[in-house]
């Protein structure tokens, strides 16, 4: 009877609960779409600190076409969540879906491109994104959080894994289906727009959209409406988040879902000023507060303090605060129509998003919604607001008609009373601190955010060094003082998968044969600049923390903008897919980069304070050295015998820049081995640029920077070309894996085996990985340089060639034989493929020059075990071979 009554009571309560969802206090469910900039990190940590029974962050999706690159961004989010003990929160990024020519949105579009440029692949132009710097103060600094991310954040088990990673569209769909939700937009609007456009029946579950973005009433204190600091000359109206995809923002604003906007108008009134900064400095009682403060400190030191204090505003974090305060006041009835809140003054405005420029209906070549379409995409109206000129890039001549001030308004959150306007609640300014008006922290939100971040509740558990009780940073360098060193070599890599295989091999060739002097990273190819950290980790594993790594130039020759050289076009770079098999996978080494031990060396934007040096130093010892600096340092004492051999496995950007900036360079180089180039003998003999179908005969490393290739070819250097045809001798994952299998013995051969195994499986499983076989052939240059020619049986011939570099994407990068005007190069015509597989495998399996620390897992074990206990155990169990191996390597 008791049980019957209990069940009855529970059933009635359950029914009541079901019928009256507002009874009691169910938490506000929140999904954040973010571009993982530092201020997004502040906002995310702020939200994670709130009482979970009141505000429940249920999902995070990545805006992959703005201020961060997907692979680096997603792993940073996983690390943040791990620190906060929230490995339960769903994270979505990317997707391989496409938009068909007729406007059909297939599931799982990755959001790597703005909707206007999204076609059948994740590779595509950079119309809007080219305004974001690729290097310092841009993607490189965001991807690494100014180098501080790997210094501070702990590492858990969650990470990006190819084909297993949840996509942004799936995470949004799941979370919206589960129940009413509010969505916070902190980056571009692409993901949410695609979701709303393809799932209109699910819109009703989205209660509210809170947006940081736009700039409504101008001019703001910068004298402009917007904040496109690299592009004021063509567009002074837009703000970055909206500009990243104006059409997507239009779809979101016009979706019919209630919207609250926190534009620059409001965030400009709450800068991270000196008083706030100094108060924050004294209040860092949690790991999350420390992570944020120290990130802000690096930004301050990287910018000038004056500029930072006045113009580094609280953007996404302020929006999060305002949104949460509005939701709190609304309660479960969701009744707070005027947006009453503690932090910002609010006002209703009628606005729209400008997606194209007047006059409408005159389609020029700028607008793919209408160009070459029989019916406009998404049934848009010719003559309507989307049918005007669309800004095509930084130097779009139509946008630059007025002196000093551009006249394109793409992405402008424009106040208007026209029929196309939407009523939106807009934050106009940050509220003063009323409780203590004379307080040095004169904004309510300044006080609140410091309070929330320092609360002991929901606090982060550890940072990297407290996660592991015996954590310590080590540097491994071999003692080569008594060794007769071999040929001095610089390896110039673009960090494609094959380049990491190559680097392992080069480190395994006896130092008596190849003395690897330096690595130059050219981020104009298959990976983004922040992937330089994977190179550092690999060197650390192999005990070679002594090898300098120089960061090359971020844009191919002639792609830099003349007025803002940190940004520029992607005429060639656009050939690399953003998603699977492209940047997403290179940047994470196909999900395996995190298995490498973590190096103490890493990309560093600025370390002035840590080193006690003056701020804003230019000294390369304190920050990431550049390619040219590493070159100068190495060549200080080069003589006839010690001339340098260069092996390039990527675009020739860095080498061309070195040649043009150092007049002596060509006399210091003994020879250059170029892995790349395609010499087509007959019509069916195609190149490998599968993403640019108009260019059938070029090869990636030449195509990605044709002018650099031309400059190097014409430099008079002694060049050996390892062309595509020769690389294609190596395409069998089976043979490579079998050779490695015969005797898998070293940590490096195990790692390489796992990488090849994964590439092989992906290659078989998914269309997006059909090209990855081409990375195998990238090892041929290093094999030719360091291997046994009796086994490899190389055949060489001389040829006179030239490379096309005319600024035409359908021809550039092609190599032609020209007996009259071509330059003489040596061509590696063929090489024995079996010999290659065996040479590679036997070197990798060789116990000499082997890893000093095998993996992150080994490092983790070391860091959780007391050194004294390890010593005792080692004495008992270390096999003699291991001691011997180390000795051999060290002496």
With CB under 5 A as the contact rule, the residue among 496, 688, 842, 850 that binds Ca ion is 496
- The CA-atom distances, in angstroms, between 193 and each of 190, 208, 247 are 5, 14, 9
Distance CA 777, CA 107 (A): 34
CB of 267 to Ca ion, least distance (A): 11
Strands 549-551, 514-521: parallel, antiparallel or unpaired by DSSP?
parallel
d(CA 395, CA 569): 10
Q: How far is the CB of 783 from Ca ion (least distance, A)?
A: 15
Piece of the chain touching Ca ion by CB under 5 A; list 7-15, 37-45, 109-117, 840-848: 37-45
**The one segment of 390-398, 497-505, 539-547, 796-804 that binds Ca ion by CB under 5 A:** 497-505
Tell the smallest beta-carbon distance from residue 40 to Ca ion (Å): 4
- The answer to the question of residue 748 lying near Ca ion (CB under 5 A) is no
- Of 23-31, 312-320, 552-560, 567-575, the window that binds Ca ion (rule: CB under 5 A) is 312-320
Stretch that binds Ca ion, among 35-43, 94-102, 535-543, 553-561 (CB under 5 A): 35-43
Q: What is the 3-state secondary structure (H, E, C) of 280-299?
A: HHCCCCCHHHHHHHHHHHHH
Q: Which is nearer to Ca ion, 211 or 346 (CB)?
A: 211
Q: Which of 492, 494, 561, 809 is in the footprint of Ca ion by CB under 5 A?
A: 494
Compute the least distance from the CB of residue 526 to Ca ion, in Å: 6
Scanning 184-192, 398-406, 556-564, 761-769 for contacts with Ca ion by CB under 5 A, the matching segment is 184-192
CB of 347 to Ca ion, least distance (A): 23
Element spanning 734, H or E? helix 733-741
The residue (of 186 and 196) whose beta carbon lies closer to Ca ion is: 186
Give the C-alpha separation, 306 to 304, whole Å: 6
How far from 571 is each of 50, 551, 558, 698, 808, CA to CA, in Å? 45, 22, 10, 14, 9
Residues contacting 323, CB < 8 A, separation 6+: 182, 184, 210, 260, 262
Give 165 or 649: the residue with its C-beta nearer to Ca ion: 649
State in angstroms the smallest separation of the CB of 650 from Ca ion.
4
Shortest spacing between CB 63 and Ca ion, in angstroms: 7
* Least distance in angstroms from the C-beta of 727 to Ca ion: 10
For 869, the 3-state DSSP assignment is helix
Residues 566-605, mask of contacts with Ca ion (x by CB under 5 A): ----------------------------------------
The 3-class secondary structure across 326-391, one letter per residue, is HHHHHHHHCCCCCCCCCCEEEEEEEEEECCCECCCCCCCCCCCCCCCCCCCHHHCCCCCCCCCECC
CB neighbours of 879 closer than 8 A, spacing ≥ 6?
A: none
Total number of residues binding Ca ion (CB under 5 A)? Answer: 11
Q: Which residue is nearest to Ca ion (CB)?
A: 496
Contact 582, 526 (CB under 8 A): yes
**Residue 128 or 370 having the CB closest to Ca ion:** 128
**Residue 329: other Cβ atoms inside 10 A:** 14
- Of the residues 33, 37, 448, 492, which one makes contact with Ca ion according to CB under 5 A: 37
Query: Is residue 649 close enough to count as binding Ca ion by CB under 5 A?
Result: yes
Helix (H, G, I), strand (E, B) or coil at 81: helix
Of the ranges 216-224, 310-318, 322-330, 867-875, which one interacts with Ca ion (CB under 5 A)? 310-318
Our CB check for Ca ion shows the closer of 313 and 441 to be 313
Binding region for Ca ion (CB under 5 A) out of 52-60, 185-193, 633-641, 687-695 = 185-193
Q: Tokens in use for 322?
A: 């305002």
Read off the tokens for 754: 């796992």
Nearer to Ca ion, 578 or 649 (CB): 649
Nearer to Ca ion, 229 or 633 (CB): 229
Count Cβ atoms within 10 A of the Cβ of residue 513 and give its class: 0-12 exposed, 13-18 middle, 19 or more buried. middle
Closer to Ca ion by CB, 81 or 105: give it: 81
- Asked if 576 and 691 touch (Cβ cutoff 8 Å), the reply is yes
415, containing H or E segment: strand 413-415
For the bound state, the minimum distance from the C-beta of residue 124 to Ca ion, rounded and expressed in Å, comes to 21
Contacting range for Ca ion; rule: CB under 5 A; set: 401-409, 564-572, 646-654, 786-794: 646-654
User: Reading across the β-sheet that carries 514-521, which strands appear in turn?
Assistant: 549-551, 514-521, 487-493, 644-648, 669-675, 719-722, 823-830, 795-803, 815-817
Stretch that binds Ca ion, among 30-38, 325-333, 363-371, 655-663 (CB under 5 A): 30-38
Specify the residue for token string 């104006």: 246
Nearer to Ca ion, 241 or 839 (CB): 241
Q: Which is nearer to Ca ion, 346 or 493 (CB)?
A: 493
Contact 207, 259 (CB under 8 A): no
Near Ca ion by CB under 5 A: residue from 499, 533, 537, 606: 499
| Residue number with CB closer to Ca ion (316 or 396) | 316
First to last CA, the chain: 83
For residue 402, the tally of other CB atoms under 10 A from its CB is 11
| Closest CB to Ca ion among residues 316, 545 | 316
Other Cβ atoms closer than 10 A to 254: 16
Using the minimum distance from each CB to Ca ion, give the nearer residue, 346 or 776: 776
- Separation CA 249–CA 263 (nearest Å): 13
Whether residue 656 contacts residue 708, with contact meaning beta carbons closer than 8 Å, is answered with yes
Question: Which residue lies nearer to Ca ion by CB, 125 or 650?
Answer: 650
Residue 186 beta carbon to Ca ion: minimum distance, rounded to whole angstroms: 4
Q: Could you tell me which stretch among 181-189, 323-331, 446-454, 766-774 binds Ca ion (CB under 5 A)? A: 181-189
Among 650, 676, 677, 794, binds Ca ion (CB under 5 A): 650
- Between strands 259-262 and 422-430, the pairing is parallel
In the bound state with Ca ion, the residue whose beta carbon lies nearer, of 298 and 780, is 780
186 sits near Ca ion (criterion: CB under 5 A): yes
> At closest approach, how far in Å is the CB of 693 from Ca ion?
22
Which one, of 376, 446, 394, lies nearest residue 46 by Cα? 446
CB of 876 to Ca ion, least distance (A): 45
User: Nearest-CA neighbor of 703 among 805, 820, 835, 600?
Assistant: 805
Question: Residue 35 interacts with Ca ion (CB under 5 A)?
Answer: yes
Least Cβ distance, residue 332 to Ca ion (angstroms) = 29
Which chain residues interact with Ca ion by CB under 5 A? 35, 37, 40, 186-187, 316, 494, 496, 499, 649-650
């Amino acid at each position: 009877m008791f049980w019957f009554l209990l069940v009855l009571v529970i059933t009635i309560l359950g029914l009541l609960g079901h019928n009256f969802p507002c009874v009691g206090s169910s938490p506000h469910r929140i999904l954040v779409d973010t571009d993982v900039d530092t201020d997004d990190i502040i906002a995310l940590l702020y939200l994670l600190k709130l009482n979970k029974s009141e505000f429940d962050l249920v999902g995070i999706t990545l805006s992959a076409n703005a201020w961060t690159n997907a692979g680096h961004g997603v792993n940073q989010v996983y690390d943040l969540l791990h620190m906060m003990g929230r490995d339960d929160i769903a994270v979505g990024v990317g997707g391989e879906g496409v938009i068909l020519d007729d406007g059909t949105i297939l599931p799982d579009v990755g959001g790597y491109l703005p909707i206007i440029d999204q076609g059948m692949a994740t590779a595509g132009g950079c119309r809007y994104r080219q305004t974001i710097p690729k290097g310092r103060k841009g993607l490189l600094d965001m991807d690494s959080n100014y180098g501080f991310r790997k210094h501070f954040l702990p590492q858990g088990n969650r990470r990006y894994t190819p084909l297993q990673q949840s996509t942004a569209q799936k995470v949004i769909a799941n979370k919206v289906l589960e129940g009413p939700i509010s969505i916070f937009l902190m980056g571009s609007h692409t993901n949410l727009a695609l979701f709303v456009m393809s799932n209109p029946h699910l819109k009703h579950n989205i209660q509210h959209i809170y947006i940081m973005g736009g700039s409504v009433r101008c001019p703001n204190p910068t004298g402009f409406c917007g904040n496109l600091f690299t592009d004021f000359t063509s567009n002074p109206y837009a703000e970055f988040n909206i500009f990243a995809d104006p059409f997507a923002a239009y779809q979101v604003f016009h979706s019919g879902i209630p919207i609250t906007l926190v534009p620059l108008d409001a965030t400009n009134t709450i800068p991270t000023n000196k008083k706030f900064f100094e108060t924050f400095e004294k209040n860092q009682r949690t790991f999350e507060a420390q992570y944020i403060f120290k990130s802000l400190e690096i930004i301050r030191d990287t910018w000038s303090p004056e500029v930072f204090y006045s113009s580094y505003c609280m953007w996404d974090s302020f929006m999060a605060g305002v949104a949460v305060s509005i939701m709190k006041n609304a309660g479960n009835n969701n009744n707070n129509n005027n947006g009453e809140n503690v932090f910002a003054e609010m006002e209703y405005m009628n606005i729209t998003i400008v997606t194209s420029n007047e006059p409408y209906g005159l389609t020029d070549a700028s607008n793919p919604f209408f160009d070459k379409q029989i019916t406009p995409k998404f049934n848009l109206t010719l003559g309507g607001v989307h049918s005007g000129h669309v800004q095509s890039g930084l130097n779009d001549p139509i946008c630059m008609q007025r002196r000093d001030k551009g006249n394109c308004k793409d992405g402008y959150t424009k106040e208007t009373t026209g029929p196309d306007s939407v009523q939106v609640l807009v934050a106009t300014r940050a509220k003063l601190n009323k409780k203590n008006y004379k307080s040095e922290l004169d904004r309510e939100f300044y006080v609140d955010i410091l309070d929330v971040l320092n609360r002991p509740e929901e606090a982060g558990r550890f940072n990297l060094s407290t996660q592991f009780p015996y954590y310590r940073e080590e540097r491994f360098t071999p003692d080569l003082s008594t060794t007769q060193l071999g040929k001095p070599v610089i390896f110039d890599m673009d960090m494609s998968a094959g380049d990491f295989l190559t680097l392992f091999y080069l480190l395994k060739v006896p130092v008596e044969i190849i003395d690897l002097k330096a690595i130059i990273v050219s981020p104009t190819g298959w990976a983004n600049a922040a992937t330089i950290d994977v190179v550092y980790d690999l060197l650390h594993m192999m005990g070679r923390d002594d090898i300098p790594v120089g960061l090359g130039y971020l844009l191919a020759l002639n792609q830099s903008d003349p007025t803002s050289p940190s940004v520029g076009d992607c005429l060639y770079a656009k050939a690399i897919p953003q998603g699977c098999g492209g940047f997403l996978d290179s940047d994470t080494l196909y999900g395996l980069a995190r298995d490498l031990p973590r190096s103490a060396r890493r990309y560093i934007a600025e370390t002035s304070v840590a080193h006690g040096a003056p701020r804003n130093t230019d000294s390369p010892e304190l920050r990431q050295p550049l390619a040219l600096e590493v070159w100068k340092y190495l060549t200080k004492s080069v003589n006839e015998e010690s001339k340098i051999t260069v092996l390039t496995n990527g675009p020739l950007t860095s080498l061309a820049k070195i040649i043009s900036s150092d007049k002596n360079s060509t006399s210091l180089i003994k020879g250059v081995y170029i892995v790349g180039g395609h010499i087509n003998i007959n019509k069916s003999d195609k190149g490998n640029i599968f993403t640019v179908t108009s260019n059938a005969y070029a090869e990636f490393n030449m195509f990605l920077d044709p002018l650099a290739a031309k400059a190097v070819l014409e430099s008079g250097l002694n060049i050996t070309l390892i062309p595509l045809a020769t690389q294609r001798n190596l395409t069998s994952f089976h043979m490579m894996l079998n050779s490695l299998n015969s005797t898998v013995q070293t940590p490096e051969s195990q790692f390489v085996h796992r990488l090849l195994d994964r590439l092989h499986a992906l290659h078989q499983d998914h269309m997006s990985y059909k090209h990855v076989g081409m990375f195998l052939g990238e090892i041929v240059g290093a094999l030719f340089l360091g291997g046994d020619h009796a086994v490899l049986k190389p055949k060489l011939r001389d040829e006179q060639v030239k490379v096309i570099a005319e600024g035409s994407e359908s021809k550039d990068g092609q190599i032609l034989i020209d007996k009259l005007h071509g330059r003489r190069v040596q061509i590696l015509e063929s090489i024995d493929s079996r010999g290659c597989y065996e040479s590679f495998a036997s070197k990798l399996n060789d116990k000499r020059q082997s890893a000093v620390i095998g993996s992150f897992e080994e490092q983790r074990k070391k860091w959780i075990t007391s050194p004294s206990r390890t010593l005792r155990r080692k004495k008992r169990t270390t096999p003699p071979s291991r001691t011997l191996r180390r000795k051999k390597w060290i002496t």
